[in-house]
Amino acid sequence: MEAKAQFETVKDSVVQLYGVVMTADSLVGIPAVSIMVKGQNRGTITNNQGVFSIVVLKGDIVEFTHVSYKSKSVEVPRNIEGNQYSVVQLLVEDTVYLPATIIKPRPSRQQFERDFVNAKVPDDDIEIARQNNDVAKRRILMQSTAPDGGEATSLQFRNIATRATYAGQLPPQKIFDPAAWAEFIKAWKRGDFKRKN
């Protein structure tokens, strides 16, 4: 019985909102106005004559937006009789000021030749590949990239296994790990921490 009463309450609060969106100065229908129910991912747009229709709930706030008009919000009244409500919404034009454009005369032939010769052309794919094959660049890439997909996959699986092993507790600190200290001392002796010029 309670579910039926709750359904009747929801059914009573559903409203078919329909109407037309027009310009405030000339009363012409505006096409492609976005009509959204505030706080929800539901909406519609007006057709070529500015007509729309959408299902809302009593008390919903409906927003009317268009790129060249000021936005407007309308609240659907809670005390409507029945399940239909019509709206004639007027929108006022919104002036958008674009930044100023500076028009300059064409350069002289000498200026054009100088600028053309000194222009920085972005590297193409072949030049980028050539730079990546440089010995120093390959060493940097080898240190930061896994050599193949198998090693990258095994590293990912090790990370997942470590997280699963220590789930719900703090993982051990590396400062107390003798193997980590041994690796640090080897790296120190190899000179891994020396500044490279």
Domain range list for the chain: 2-91, 109-190
pTM value is 0.47
What letter would DSSP give residue 97?
Answer: P
Determine the pLDDT at residue 52: 96
Nearest Cα neighbor of 46 from 75, 79, 89 is: 89
Go through 125-146 and write b for each residue having 16 or more CB atoms within 10 A of its CB, e for each that does not: eeeeeeeeeeeeeeeeeeeeee
Q: To which residue do tokens 């539901």 refer?
A: 42
Kindly report, residue by residue over 87-127, the tens digit of the pLDDT.
Answer: 999 999 988 788 888 888 878 889 888 888 888 888 888 88
Q: Are 75 and 87 in contact (CB under 8 A)?
A: no
Q: Are 71 and 30 in contact (CB under 8 A)?
A: no
Q: Are 88 and 23 in contact (CB under 8 A)?
A: no
Sequence-ordered list of residues with C-beta below 8 angstroms from that of 172, at least 6 positions apart, any chain: 166
What letter would DSSP give residue 18?
Answer: E
pLDDT score of 133 more than 80: yes
Task: Name which CATH class applies to 2-91.
Answer: mainly beta
Beta bridge partner(s), residue 84: 16
Beta bridge partner(s), residue 22: 29, 90
Q: Stretch 1-29: mean pLDDT, rounded?
A: 76
